[in-house]
Structure 1
């Protein structure tokens, strides 16, 4: 009897143990067991000015195989084909291996491949090798793209690892399996300039299965690319084509025939490197060592994307989920790690280097991304932030100084870096706030001391280089449009350059203070106040000044100007946009504008103007405007949240809802401006969450109005932060009150620390404009 009792107890104990383990295993089940990639639509932003691409890529990968489209109505690219593709184009001309996400200048689209079934095409124009396709056959998912080419009777599938593009072609008739390779092609401002795209090239067929080579493309910034192209079928015929229109070209085009051995499938792998051909081969062999592994590579890439997408779990309708997860997808397409598997990369002028973190992130659109994308990374991926900032310090360390070249007479951190090359695009030194913001949040670069970090920041802010004009700022307290102290003072964008520089000075001052360098902190703090020197009280706008201290008069407030105009005040913006471009001292701006009520009136004049911003000196159609507000360009992105500093903070909530609902949608033309390496996408994500980094340095996020019922953020430290919007509806979208972990928030912001510590942020929503229940 006693034995039976003991056995029963053992059985019950075992049942309890199994039950407990089962419950625990369920609790530990990864959230990304859900396939979040089902909510990503890579076609969003591929029509009009979004400039995204639909092809395959891994998160932050070096390659992005994607289609190149063509429309005979285009005289040139005229900005539309910067990513190589427009959704409504009727033809595809091939598939290239590298792309940029949502930028405003053309580059990339390296190594074009187009499967064919004929060699009778007239080769005088490269665009004769085009094919129609049906939209029903075109599929795009994270890490995968598929389409059927009607003219050539072949199905194309693309996937990728970090450094290798993987193509799979299925021909209707294996006897006619051919492939065009165009090594000259690349996107440009004008399709007529493709013959000028390559500065240097050499290539060789190493055997009947392998083509290797080198090319140096010139567009936007000269780039070194080494490659290896491998085929799983033997090449039996090579035909080199005459350059189109008999124009001299540095790189050839080939048509290849294959011995398909009765099979219909041809696989192609393209490995790339900035270092050398041997390194491209090593990248390829390391990442895809066998043939017939396309499906497993696709599955592995899908998992990588799910690991990122699972950082969020939304309770929302289908459209909101698609818009949100696609934004998150776009956010992690770049920056791109261009280091080889051994951690080496080619820097701008100093040759091959070893990355301090083993990775080297380039494609840094910092003028755009410092505002929201980089702060979002600090919440979601602090390790990535550390590696990005380490890469920027690597860039500074390896930069070659040329005393004879005023642009390169001093070292500086990257401004807009592409594949390790500085493009000299845009203004400001916005690597500084990115590095400082992370540092203040406890995220430090790898392998660099505090003094080395500070030296890079200090030198970038205080030594002259292209477009920072520190000599003029230190002499006048602003940038006069009519003075040249050096050959790099050009009298352009003078107000924007000052305002952007004063923000960087503010960030640098925070770092100096943190490190106990009070003298340097005081110097930078003083310069950070110089925005007041270009505020014209009479007009209420920021305005250009000459050396005598006289403001410009008779300014067209609506005209958008930029570096293309001599004597311009602003960078891709107008007087309304830069009227409020003081990200670090909104309270000071409120004061000089006359207080909260007057500040709110000036915002009303911007958002509810009967006129729209207009480019009058270029062919540039502006979309996504809300009065004078221009959502399609970054200087405006913080403006909706500025009502939180006025006497009517609820006006932010109405504007945010309008922008989220009407300015982002789940169709190819669903972006109202260039995605700019994820900045437009990061803005959307913050808008949905209900807070935004108006000041992107230091860790405060201004409270907005959440746009979905609930969001749970799965933080990298394994904490969770949940945002809830109670009573949210299409008519109930005004914030009445906010609580954090059950305590009423008597302020208009939440901190980075409060987010990463985990907890619950609850917004009570109402239909009526409430009494102010949290401070301004």
Structure 2
């Protein structure tokens, strides 16, 4: 930053000052604000399910608007994150949100600033306001909008555990605030009255409201909170429950003594442990009033520290999409531990986090594929803390022999705020822990034997949707047999394929630790994907107990756990045809070699039909033939052409997906972001390599989509990717060098990236 020397002269002309500013003295580099490249509105329309509000990296709170539109079939699926960009109304601002997920939850504690007492309270949606899009602004750590109907500007920022609101009313005597403690997003907008299982609250004084609520949607969550106001409450009006339906938590309209100010500040501290802990979090992080701008600046810096990991040269739209992807990647997992490291675990009460932080919101079925490997490059310390949290979860989990879902302990599958949702299939904490371990990133406070025990037990002991009794008995999961109380004959092919990958990862850890017997057992089970490959049809296919494959299967129909006898998890036969991440050469072999493998890939990408869900209201976006980029089981498939006789097709498909399936507009995500997995895929795609097998540290080379990208590695080194002669016509890779040496292989390694250097792609026309 250029500085002006302070001269001991009382009066200086503007010209002289300007001249001195330009020519003189000390010069410092201006810190770059990478947040200008982030657009939080990307993914807020249609299926992206992102939110535009404020949050810190990995923070527990995400204050953000709740929008409303005319209710229609499928409305709830759109509003999982509480907000759709094109909605005409805002109904308030809640404190917690999930990034890009496919199931509703959160949107706790709704606040809506008002300027009137004349609204009919019979419907909670009557407290809505129109707003102009030009008044809405969002950047990492900050959001603002002007509510036209209530004549108030709303601003939001946050620390890790505290949401900070600032309302500027047009008139002093108009300052009112609605607080709705019952609200939360749900599968059915009419079921908001059922959202809260338990609640209590009290006004501790004229400036403080505190309480507790247990929400039920998706997972039962304990939330303790304290809400503090910088103005005195002079009246409290508790509203009747909407439509006379019984609700466990109340709504209030508050009036404030504004004195000579038209600005009201509100701070909301949260905890899973208790009200006093919520207060401690608030006092530790935002102890003073009139500090909104300071908190915003501090949060902006935290985001810049992450965004500055990359330096990009090239297309401006790709920069915006890339940095926004990086932003979305670090919204979660969320640290739900208090400032003293305590958190509430699933069944065993309040615990002390081993690493001082407890990361939950673990969408592992999605993120193990690319997001978690990306963290190992950019944030190894964070990876260690995440994996420590998962070991803590296993340690404190209580097995319950009377509950078939919890008959044995296991590592998290899809954990939300410390609670297991039992969503999706596989045991994908296993590859996340193992991949990091093999890269030298270990959980804190746990021995190798303790780590292996968690992995081994998760893979070999019965629990919900892992079907180990069936797998060990048949070598696959028959759809017509029950050996345990958790066998349901659904998603049988997907569950087997996902489990065999986890077995492969577990075998790598067993080998590393010298556990030969266990390694042999898991290695063998990792080959069981071959047991559901039907050579006659050329697809993975469900089997009955007699070993007979299903016939007359609709190859294009997307099925899932909602259908009895289903073969796949949110996918069809094309998607899971290639779901063998750990033994691609073995898959190529059973499919008849490189040429036949290429033919099968062509049949997927160049199909004239698209995948369809025939039994649900679900419009699929982001398809390329039968390939479905909007859902994770397909994410590695474009790179599989590198194992065929036509490897150049990867380059073309990657370019198409980057250019046409990601955008900088609100509808710029062709599918749920799924806690950063869609974003991580984009980042790897732009950089030119991807972890097709996300355990073990190899990245398959693709086709870079930006001229230059430098990773400022946490070890102080830099790794630069350069795409020479890249253009809209030059998008095919002709050759690749690493540190000046020609690469005659299709991958680079994790160690090669961490060692620093330069990866150069020579790009040519098709």
Give yes or no for TM over 0.5.
yes
- C-alpha distance in structure 2 between counterparts of 1:128 and 1:544, whole Å: 50
Q: Residue in 1 aligned with 2:36?
A: 38
Q: 2:460 aligns with which of 453, 456, 462?
A: 462
Partner of 1:303: 301
Would you say the 8 A contact 2:74–2:617 is kept in 1? no
> What's 1:594 paired with?
592
Counterpart pick for 1:63 among 54, 61, 65:
61
Q: State the partner residue of 1:255.
A: 253
Following the alignment from structure 1 to structure 2, what is the Cα–Cα distance between the partners of residues 438 and 76? 39
Aligned to 1:17: none
Q: Render the CA deviation track for 1:18-64: whole Å, top value 9, x for unaligned.
A: xxxx99997xx6xx911000000000000000000000000000000
2:271 is matched with which residue? Answer: 273
Alpha-carbon separation, structure 1, partners of 2:191 and 2:172: 35
Contact 1:58 1:160 in 2 (8 A): yes
The one of 129, 134, 147 equivalent to 1:131 is 129
**Deviation of the 1:297 alpha carbon:** 0.2
Match of 1:691 among 689, 692, 697: 689
* Deviation for aligned residue 1:75: 5.5
Q: In structure 2, how many angstroms separate the alpha carbons of the residues matched to 1:68 and 1:756? A: 42
Q: In structure 2, do the counterparts of structure 1 residues 123 and 286 end up closer, same or farther at CA, with 3 Å as the change threshold?
A: same
2:714 & 2:418 partners in 1: Cα distance? 29
Q: Tell me which residue corresponds to 1:388.
A: 386
How far apart, CA to CA, are the structure 2 residues paired with 1:266 and 1:161? 18
CA RMSD of aligned residues (A): 1.2
Matched residue, 1:570: 568
Please say if residues 433 and 508 of structure 1, whose CA atoms lie closer than 8 Å, have aligned partners that are also in contact: yes
Q: Please show how residues 343-358 of structure 1 align to structure 2 within 5 Å.
A: 343-358=341-356
Q: Report the alpha carbon displacement of residue 637 of structure 1 after superposing the two structures with TM.
A: 0.2
1:746 corresponding residue in structure 2 = 744
2:288 to 264, 273, 290: 290
Q: CA deviation at 1:755?
A: 0.1
Q: SS in structure 1 opposite 2:143?
A: strand
- 2: distance between equivalents of 1:75 and 1:586? 41
2:478 maps to 480
**Residues 188-243 of structure 1: CA deviation (Å, up to 9, x unaligned):** 01110000000000000000000000000000000000000000000000000000
Aligned pairs (5 A) from 1:366-765: 366-765=364-763
**SS of 1:614's equivalent?**
coil
Deviation at 1:78, TM superposition (A): 2.9
Answer yes or no: is the 8 Å Cα contact 2:146–2:152 preserved in 1: yes
Deviation at 1:84, TM superposition (A): 0.2
Partner of 2:169: 171
Is the CA contact 1:77–1:189 (under 8 Å) kept in the aligned structure 2?
no
Please say if residues 116 and 176 of structure 2, whose CA atoms lie closer than 8 Å, have aligned partners that are also in contact: yes
* Structure 1, unpaired ranges of 5+: 1-21, 769-776
User: Distance between the aligned counterparts of 1:500 and 1:652, measured in 2?
Assistant: 24
CA apart distance, 1:109 = 0.1
Match of 1:5 in 2: none
Deviation string, structure 1 residues 669-693 (Cα, Å, up to 9, x no partner): 0000000000000000000000000
Match of 1:120 in 2: 118
CA contact under 8 A between 1:414 and 1:431: conserved in structure 2? yes
How far did 1:77 drift? Answer: 3.5
Match of 1:246 in 2: 244
* Residues 75/540 of structure 1: CA separation in 2 closer, same or farther (3 Å cut): closer
**Residue matched to 2:12:** none
> Within the alignment, does 1:316 sit opposite 2:338 as a pair?
no
**Deviation, structure 1 residue 68:** 0.2
**How far apart in 1 are the matches of 2:563 and 2:26?**
65
Of 132, 141, 144, the residue aligned with 1:143 is: 141
8 A contact 2:76–2:189 mirrored in 1: no
Give the match's secondary structure for 2:43: coil
Q: Give the whole-Å Cα distance in 1 for the aligned partners of 2:160 and 2:448.
A: 32
C-alpha separation in 1, matches of 2:350 and 2:514: 36
Q: CA deviation at 1:316?
A: 1.5
Shift of 1:487: 1.4
- Distance (Å, rounded) in 1 between the aligned partners of 2:614 and 2:245: 36
1:260-312 CA-partner distances (Å, limit 9, x unpaired) = 01200000000000000000000000000100000000000000000000000
Equivalent residues in 2 for 1:131-210 (5 A)? 131-210=129-208
Question: 1: CA distance between counterparts of 2:446 and 2:412?
Answer: 17
CA distance in 2, matches of 1:396, 1:73: 41
Judge conservation of contact 1:76–1:190 (CA < 8 Å) in 2: no
Contact 2:405 2:463 in 1 (8 A): yes
Aligned pairs (5 A) from 1:86-125? 86-125=84-123
Aligned-partner Cα distance in 1 for 2:72–2:79: 10
* 1:318 shift after superposition: 1.3
Counterpart of 2:77? Answer: 79
2: CA distance between counterparts of 1:288 and 1:756?
37
Aligned length: 743
Inter-partner Cα distance in structure 1 for 2:334 and 2:72 = 30
Instruction: Determine if contact 1:641/1:704 at 8 Å carries over to the other structure.
Output: yes
Contact 1:374/1:434, CA 8 A, preserved across alignment: yes
Distance 1:399 1:617, change over 3 A: same
> What displacement does 1:76 show?
6.6
Contact 2:223 2:270 in 1 (8 A): yes
Separation of aligned partners in 2, 1:643 and 1:737:
17
Deviations 1:536-566 (A, max 9, x none): 0001000000000000001000000000000
The answer on whether the counterparts of 2:145 and 2:153 sit within 8 Å (CA) in structure 1 is yes
> Would the aligned equivalents of 1:166 and 1:268 in 2 still touch at CA under 8 Å?
yes
